Amino acid sequence: SGQPDRWGGRFEGLLLLPLVGVAVYLVLLAAPRIDPGRANYASFAGAYGTVRLVVLVAMLAIQVMMVLAARGRGVDMGAWVPLIVGGLFTVLGSLFGQLRPNWFIGIRTPWTLSSKQSWDRTHRAGGWLFVLFGLLLMSLALGRPAWLVITVFAVIAAGVIGLVVYSYVVWRDDPEKTAPAGTLPAGP
């Protein structure tokens, strides 16, 4: 293990991403078959197919950049990874409004899973947030000012908290809500 590989010891971790990619592919392939909300997949099949494709393409692009960097090709991972991940988030955000309730992809809180209104409204808001986050990440790749890293993480934290609270507020005011699975019936 102490011996460097033929690329001068820079090979560690290059096999992990392809294995993760295969696992992600298999989970995304099996999800519609094992999801309790599997009947909804037909209504967003195009968006789901696009999600599967862009996630795998992003993972492949990062893997290619890692291999090129390990081979000494002068790839700036600090620029490419935020650019690729930012593009991924931008595309995912643009698809959020098309997703229908399911247990595998999207913003899954107890409230979005028990209220169609909460699911729809939270995903519309989350879509805008994901697009904003993606654009921030891509601008980080281009300019890389130190303050932008802090801004990106602040947007993520505020966005996650905001979406969770928003999904609850919409659920609370939805007259057609149901109780989240495994809880007592929804109260008045």
Query: At 139, is the pLDDT very low, low, confident or very high (cuts 50, 70, 90)?
Result: confident
Residue 72: per-residue pLDDT: 85
The 8-class DSSP code of residue 44 comes to: G
> What amino acid is encoded at 161 in this protein?
I
Measured CA to CA in angstroms, residue 91 lies from 22, 87, 131 at distances of 21, 6, 7
Query: At 1, is the pLDDT very low, low, confident or very high (cuts 50, 70, 90)?
Result: very low
- The mean pLDDT of the chain is 86
What tokens appear for 66 in the block?
């890692």
Distance CA 84, CA 86 (A): 5
Query: At 52, is the pLDDT very low, low, confident or very high (cuts 50, 70, 90)?
Result: very high
Distance CA 167, CA 63 (A): 35
Residue 16: per-residue pLDDT: 75
Q: Render pLDDT for 104-119 as a digit per residue (tens, 0 to 9).
A: 999 999 999 999 999 9
Residue 71: per-residue pLDDT: 85
